[in-house]
Amino acid sequence: MKRFEKPYVHYSYPNFLDDASFKKLTTAYDHLQFFEKESDLFHFFQTNELDTEPSLAFLKKKLNAVFEQLCDMKDTFYNIFASMYFKGDYLLCHDDVVDDRKYAFILYLADHPSADLVLYDETATKEAKRIKVKKNHLYLGIIHKT
């Protein structure tokens, strides 16, 4: 796992899952139920909370190992959702500051040459970093509350 300081502390974890676990994840993903989500900031499809999904217990265990490196896991929980984007779907610039959230993470299941993860500066007006979407790559950002 590689740590970056700019534009804010975030981590990059390529090849997050071994081949067998990645196959299990994509197989589970193919059987999930997605619901349309829409507002002025986004349009895409998302699952309900997957924290207790039995077919994803191995993923939660792997994520726990990462989070344990970064913080005390006592009294800590996290939410897991799967999202699906079709041509024309979007998620506009936003921060991930929500309630008591400490981290935001994303795990990509496929390479997408036309899609990027874009990180903005603290004003959210200037692009600070552009990251290519890569299969089996976990990105994790530290949420700073002001």
pLDDT of residue 146: 46
The residue whose two tokens read 């193919």 is: 30
Whether residue 134 contacts residue 98, with contact meaning beta carbons closer than 8 Å, is answered with no
Q: pTM for the full model?
A: 0.85
Tally of CB atoms within 10 A around 11: 18
Strands (E), 1-146: 2-4, 10-13, 35-38, 42-46, 83-84, 90-91, 103-108, 112-120, 127-133, 137-142
Tens of pLDDT along the chain (146 residues) come to 899 998 888 999 999 999 999 999 999 999 999 999 999 999 999 999 998 889 999 999 999 888 888 876 666 678 899 999 988 999 888 778 777 777 889 999 999 887 888 888 888 789 999 999 899 999 998 876 54
